[in-house]
Amino acid sequence: MDHEYILELNHITKTFSGVTVLNDVSLRVRRGTVMGLMGENGAGKSTLMKILQGIYMPTQGEVIFDGKQLKVSNINQALLAGISMIHQEMSPIPDMTVAENIFIGREPDTKFGFVDEKELNAKAEALLKDLNLNFSADTKMRKLTIANMQMVEIAKAISFQSKLIIMDEPTSAITDREVENLFRIIRRLKEKGVTIIYISHKMDEIFKITDEITVLRDGCNAGYGYSKDLTQDSLIKMMVGRTLNDLFPKTVVDIGEEVLRVEGLTLGKYFHDISFSVKKGEIVGFSGLVGAGRSEVMETLYGLRHAESGKIIINGKEVKIKNPHDAIAAGIGFLTEDRKASGIFGPLGITDNIVMPSLGRFQKLGLIKGKRLVSESARMKQELNIKATSLAQKIQFLSGGNQQKALIARWLMNNPQILIVDEPTRGIDVNAKAEIHKKLGELVKEGKAVIMISSEMPEIISMSDRIYVMHEGEMTGELQREEISQERIALLASLTKEQLEACKIKSQGETDYVK
């Protein structure tokens, strides 16, 4: 009784405490095919996949897997039911062998109840051989390349007799040759009747490997088609076809002289030959996919990483920035991407959190001028409308939005001439978001410059005066205010420089995506 569709998701709706993340999403996947799943960050792809893995329960709708209603409530049950997922970020146990990683928790026993090493290795070896892999089952995971770790994950999925394997951005960290190998394995799996859901942002790959493509946008079905019938243009339109709302007001500001110029900044595997400039009164956006190297460029500019080559010029003078202390002295502030990991001091009060980079200003005879410190923090708290019981309240007990506002306050107090903000409004509520946007607008009005990294299209489009787009460590384009559109950004973000060149030659004059 083989059903044509291995998986049918019918009218799935998922809400989290009142917020609808998936709205009436349907998806049908044919047995033994590769279904591409695309959509911007936050479109609902991962929520949908988590429902398949039993991590979330759908609020409404049904999941039919292999002809039966799917009833799983955790990853293990999903594995046993035949659904595996290969994550973008794998978490192998580095000091255990390949065989141990594959069969962890279900090692074959000897008759005395110990682990049967021989049997374990033999079973793993058979799996590896089946996939034509050239390393042995007793290799330590630590010694494998990322691509090979991925292969181990696939071997593990096969060992569970998975009928459906979900691959989330499987090529984000592997080389072109390794991609070819992965595709070879995928085709082989197809022959064996295994079905693949392939999540990716990369256009060329998705056309190469998938049979059908489904696009999600803002938690809804946004498009579907056979890969052979679709084009890059039509896919991009499906992904971004949304009207911009006016949540992000942009204040018009006179643009002044150049305050920062970066020339040919290069850092090994992260990015190379990055050049850009920022003027007073400008908000300069940096767009690109996750992993394009945007954050790494900013971390280098700020002295958290060290460039191999390139120049940083501030107000016409070349500066050497060895560490964040130098960066702050040169007039740069940096609101990092990960609030919890590198932003807040959880157990410290709001005042201490705000003042940390500006301590030097409150010094007298080696001691801190407490009164002025408190009055200035109080002013900041009011100005940014930070909701807290007192200035001494530990920041870890504030909401994400209020924590973020406190971190903005930190840099307003420090008063840098260039403020870098990395995903400034990720995961915070609408009101806090609007307030932060307003503050950034005021800042450039005062003649400061802001560099903004954001993966949220509406935010970066409405806030930026200019946008630089990066793809896999390369600068692929610069868009002036009047040239900015979601389609152009999406195209520049998803192709390499060479692919863009090819694109340009092919479509002479037809499209103006590439300048």
Partner 1 sequence: MLNKRLKSFFSDYSIIIIFAAMVLILAMIKPQFIGPSNIISMVRQVSLIGILSMGMMLVIINGGVDLSGGAQIALASVVCSVFAQEMNNNLFLAILCPILVGLFCGLINGFLITIPKIPAFIATLGVTNIAKGMALLFCNGQPIQVVNETILWLGSYRIGGGAWAMPVLILIFLLCAVLNHILLTKSHFGKKVFALGGNEQAARVCGISVERTRMIVYLLISVYAAISGILISGRVGAGATSNGVEYHLDAIASCVIGGVSMKGGVGNVLGVAIGVLIIGALQNGLNIMGVSPYWQQICKGLIIIIAVVMDTIKKGGGE
- How far is the C-alpha of 386 from the C-alpha of 436, rounded, in Å? 11
Q: Could you say which of 334, 425, 456, 477 contacts partner 1 (CB under 8 A)?
A: 334
Output the six-digit token pair for 238: 């499906």
Binding part of the chain for partner 1, among 186-194, 223-231, 357-365, 443-451 by CB under 8 A, reads 357-365
Binding part of the chain for partner 1, among 70-78, 110-118, 359-367, 431-439 by CB under 8 A, reads 359-367
In the complex, least distance from residue 384 CB atom to partner 1, rounded to whole angstroms = 18
Q: Could you say which of 343, 401, 424, 473 contacts partner 1 (CB under 8 A)?
A: 343
Check residue 344 for interaction with partner 1 (CB under 8 A): yes
Q: Which lies closer to partner 1 via its Cβ, residue 323 or residue 480?
A: 323
In the complex, least distance from residue 76 CB atom to partner 1, rounded to whole angstroms = 24
- How far is the C-alpha of 464 from the C-alpha of 331, rounded, in Å? 21
Binding part of the chain for partner 1, among 132-140, 155-163, 208-216, 318-326 by CB under 8 A, reads 318-326
Characterise 61 by phi-psi region: left (phi > 0), alpha (psi -120 to 50), beta (else): left
Residue for token pair 């060290």: 306
Q: Which lies closer to partner 1 via its Cβ, residue 302 or residue 468?
A: 302
Binning the chain into helix, strand and coil, the percentages to the nearest 5 are 40, 25, 35
Q: Which lies closer to partner 1 via its Cβ, residue 93 or residue 368?
A: 368
Output the six-digit token pair for 514: 């590439």
Instruction: Output DSSP code: residue 211.
Output: S
Q: Could you say which of 46, 336, 417, 486 contacts partner 1 (CB under 8 A)?
A: 336
Q: Buried b / exposed e across 37-67, counting CB within 10 Å, b at 16+?
A: bbbbebbbbbbbbbbbbbbbebeebebbbbe
Per-residue x/- track, 269-308, partner 1 (CB under 8 A)? ---------------------------------x-x----
Output the six-digit token pair for 433: 């978001």
Per-residue x/- track, 238-257, partner 1 (CB under 8 A)? --------------------
Binding part of the chain for partner 1, among 156-164, 257-265, 325-333, 495-503 by CB under 8 A, reads 325-333
Check residue 356 for interaction with partner 1 (CB under 8 A): yes
Check residue 164 for interaction with partner 1 (CB under 8 A): no
Q: Are 125 and 103 contacting, i.e. CB atoms less than 8 angstroms apart? A: no
- How far is the C-alpha of 397 from the C-alpha of 213, rounded, in Å? 43
Going by C-beta distance under 8 Å and a sequence separation of 6 or more, which residues neighbour residue 101?
Answer: 92, 93, 141, 152, 156
Binding part of the chain for partner 1, among 34-42, 98-106, 264-272, 349-357 by CB under 8 A, reads 349-357
Q: Could you say which of 108, 241, 347, 427 contacts partner 1 (CB under 8 A)?
A: 347
Check residue 331 for interaction with partner 1 (CB under 8 A): no
In the complex, least distance from residue 284 CB atom to partner 1, rounded to whole angstroms = 20
Q: Could you say which of 72, 79, 235, 355 contacts partner 1 (CB under 8 A)?
A: 355
Which of 145, 151, 155, 53 minimizes the C-alpha distance to 104?
155
Residue 499 C-alpha from the chain's centroid: 22
Residue for token pair 């709302």: 245
Check residue 360 for interaction with partner 1 (CB under 8 A): yes
Binding part of the chain for partner 1, among 170-178, 208-216, 317-325, 424-432 by CB under 8 A, reads 317-325
Q: Which lies closer to partner 1 via its Cβ, residue 302 or residue 513?
A: 302
Per-residue x/- track, 378-417, partner 1 (CB under 8 A)? --------------------------------x-------
Q: Which lies closer to partner 1 via its Cβ, residue 323 or residue 507?
A: 323
Check residue 505 for interaction with partner 1 (CB under 8 A): no
Check residue 133 for interaction with partner 1 (CB under 8 A): no
Check residue 147 for interaction with partner 1 (CB under 8 A): no
Which of 183, 224, 173, 181 minimizes the C-alpha distance to 204?
183
Contacts with partner 1 by CB under 8 A: the residue count is 30
Binding part of the chain for partner 1, among 135-143, 169-177, 326-334, 462-470 by CB under 8 A, reads 326-334
Check residue 36 for interaction with partner 1 (CB under 8 A): no
Going by C-beta distance under 8 Å and a sequence separation of 6 or more, which residues neighbour residue 509?
Answer: none
Going by C-beta distance under 8 Å and a sequence separation of 6 or more, which residues neighbour residue 390?
Answer: 350
- Sign (positive/negative) of CA torsion 133, 134, 137, 139? negative
Check residue 419 for interaction with partner 1 (CB under 8 A): no
How does DSSP assign 323-337, residue by residue?
SHHHHHHTTEEEE-S
Q: Are 211 and 217 contacting, i.e. CB atoms less than 8 angstroms apart? A: no
Binding part of the chain for partner 1, among 35-43, 356-364, 436-444, 455-463 by CB under 8 A, reads 356-364
Residue 88 C-alpha from the chain's centroid: 10
Going by C-beta distance under 8 Å and a sequence separation of 6 or more, which residues neighbour residue 134?
Answer: none
How far is residue 206 from each of residues 168, 240, 507, measured CA to CA in Å? 12, 17, 21
Check residue 57 for interaction with partner 1 (CB under 8 A): no
In the complex, least distance from residue 323 CB atom to partner 1, rounded to whole angstroms = 7
- How far is the C-alpha of 274 from the C-alpha of 335, rounded, in Å? 21
Is residue 1 helix, strand or coil?
A: coil
Element (H or E) spanning 100, and its range? helix 98-102
In the complex, least distance from residue 274 CB atom to partner 1, rounded to whole angstroms = 21
Residues that bind partner 1 (CB under 8 A): 302, 304, 323-325, 327-329, 334, 336, 341-348, 352, 355-357, 359-360, 363, 366-368, 370, 410
